[in-house]
Structure 1
Amino acid sequence: MKKKLVIISGMLFLVMFVFSACKEKGEVEKNQKENLPPATENQLTEESDLKAPTEMRKMTVQTTGGQVNPEEKIDATKVPRMVIKNGEIKIEIDNYDESEKKVVEIAGKFNGYLASSNSLLSASGKKQGTIVLKIPSDKFDAALMELKQAGKVMSDKVTSRDITEEYIDLEARLKNQKEFEQRLLKLLTEKATRLSDIIEVEQKLASVRQTIETIEGKMKYLKGQADFSTITINLFEPSMIETSSGGGFFYEIGQSIKKGLKGFTVITGGIITVIISLLPVVIFILLIVWIVIRIIRKKTAKKQNK
């Protein structure tokens, strides 16, 4: 009985010893964790540096190429239409200078202006040329009708191109690029700390600003084309009788006479050239003939004297 009690007491003592050792180990590990030193300032800076380029790459992926967010795209049916109109007229007139002056006056009447003008004198002595006018788009039709009264209209053509959706798309792209520019500026001033990150952000910022300038330039061009329509007027004074060469009847007669005189001059010049070239030979032959005749005459005279 005593032996059994000794064994049981030994086992209980062993269990208590193991339990005490495990508890002591847990308390030591807890104390080690609580006594760890705080993170240094350099470690925090390195963590923030790693976050900055990651955010910038995320922004770059979201906005590269200037893609338009479908939710932000404006409905083209709810905005005023933007249409580029172009007209071209060919008019036969009596006096070019007077008609040109009249055409420019009509343009001024409709708040338009002369964009360009060029003229030339044809082979038949008649004047012709091209005048380009810029007319406010809302007065295009009225101006075109009045310009047709300047002379006899030989042909006319009107074309138009709707640029509403194209312009709206450019507006949306411009908005996205400007928002991206602001985010890059914020990233540059607040989160980019390393030199490599700053250089990368500045390069992207320069690219975005160049894209903004390109979009603004195209928008300005399209708006100018839509606000002022273009009318091209071809004016010409008719010849008396038109021929295949474009000249008049009397002009063709004059040209024929000129060609005949030119041919006669060429032939005459050729004959004179041949004569001048052969003149030394002819003189030499005549000299020999004269000498022979003189000798023959002398011999004949001597025979008669005998």
Structure 2
Amino acid sequence: MKTLSKKFNFKFIAICISLLVVGSCQNASYKEDFAMETVAITESYQAVDGSEATGTVANTPVQLKIIKSASARYKVEDVKKATAQVKEMAQKYDGYISDLRFENNSYEKQNRFTIKVPNTHFDALLDSIASVSIFTEFENITTQDVTEEYLDLESRLATKQEVKERYEDILRKNAKTVEDILATEEKLRILQEEIEAAQGRLKYLSNKVSYSTVQVDLFETVEYKEEPESYTKLFLDKAGSGFNFGWELIEAIVVGLLHIWPLLIIITLVIMFLRRKMKKK
């Protein structure tokens, strides 16, 4: 009996130890799997974040320098009224009218003017002007990309300014003789002219980019009337012409007498002298 109880106790202990070992192994494998999963998530996040950052830097666009211009012709009901409305629109969008020309003939009245407007308001102004028309004859929009020229000028300008600074440093420290001073000053003069030319071109391009040009033609049709081949004056017209002629004749006589006043005085004196002689006789 004792032998059997010992065997039973040994088996029971062995089974408990086996269960403990299995349980510990499962816990250990669960922990390892959790750690591996955490590492995988971290690496994946870092990879995505790095790729997004790289893509953002690579896709950063250069600020484009675009010159916009447009020309359009619109039919309106009243040219004068439509012109006043367009002027108000230009002021609303911080623009101004740089040129205006009015034409009137037997077929139509036309107002042609040029508007300078900030580049950001270019499209809005065109849409607003089109809203006052009853018919759009044409609209032409053109763009000119000067980004490459602008960046090239900026790069050249920076280089020339650096060279100018070096020449100025040479002039202050190393130029000893008159020949060296004159040669350095000549180089500086040429560089200054090139720098001013580049700055002027950059300023011109900046103004063209900042302010777009819109040329607008507003016109209204009028009823055609043929000009008469001959014109007959009415009585009032003839009376007015006669009155004007009479007044002009009086003016001419008075002006003519004023021109010959010395002769009139001499004639008057001669007549008075002759009359006295005749009285004495």
Q: What TM-score do the two structures reach when normalised by structure 2?
A: 0.58
**Distance 1:218-1:233 versus aligned 2 partners, 3 A rule:** same
| Aligned residues with identical type, % of pairs | 29
Cα deviation code 1:234-278 (max 9, x no counterpart) = 1122133xxxxxxx2x23xx25x249xxxxxxxxxxxxxxxxxxx
1:197 pairs with one of 177, 180, 195: 180
- Structure 1 position 119 matched with structure 2 position 102: yes
Distance change (3 Å), C-alpha of 1:115 and 1:180: same
Contact 1:107 1:133 in 2 (8 A): yes
Could you tell me which residue of structure 2 aligns to residue 219 of structure 1?
Answer: 202
Output the amino acid matched with 2:149: E
Residue aligning to 2:68: 85
Residue 191 and residue 127 in structure 1: after superposition, are their counterparts in 2 closer, same or farther (change >3 A)? same
Secondary structure of the residue that 1:150 maps to in structure 2? coil
What is the CA distance between 1:117 and its match in structure 2? Answer: 1.2
1:137, 1:226 within 8 Å by CA — same for their partners in 2? yes
Stretches of structure 1 lacking an aligned partner (at least 5 in a row): 1-74, 241-247, 260-306
Note if 1:176 corresponds to 2:159: yes
8 Å CA contact 1:84, 1:229 repeated in 2: yes
Match of 2:120 in 1: 138
What does 1:1-306 correspond to in 2, within 5 Å? 78-122=61-105, 124=106, 126-151=108-133, 152-240=135-223, 248=224, 250-251=225-226, 254=227, 257-258=229-230
Whole-angstrom distance in 2 between the partners of 1:161 and 1:84: 5
Deviation at 1:129, TM superposition (A): 2.5
Residues in 2 aligned to 1:101 and 1:92: alpha-carbon distance in whole angstroms: 15
TM-score by length of 1: 0.53
SS of match in other structure, 1:133:
strand
Cα offset, 1:183, TM superposition? 0.6
- Structure 1 residue 120 displacement after superposition: 2.4
Q: What amino acid sits opposite 1:111 in the alignment?
A: D
Query: Is 1:76–1:164's contact at 8 Å kept on the other side of the alignment?
Result: no
Q: Aligned partners of 1:169 and 1:216: how far apart in 2?
A: 12
Alignment deviations for residues 97-152 of structure 1 (CA, whole Å, 9 cap, x no partner):
21111111111111222122121222x17431311111211221121111111212
Name the amino acid aligned to 1:83. I
Q: For each residue in 1:10-35, what CA deviation from the matched residue of structure 2 results, as whole angstroms up to 9, or x when unmatched?
A: xxxxxxxxxxxxxxxxxxxxxxxxxx
**Count of residue correspondences:** 173
Which amino acid letter does the alignment assign opposite residue 160 of structure 2?
A: Q
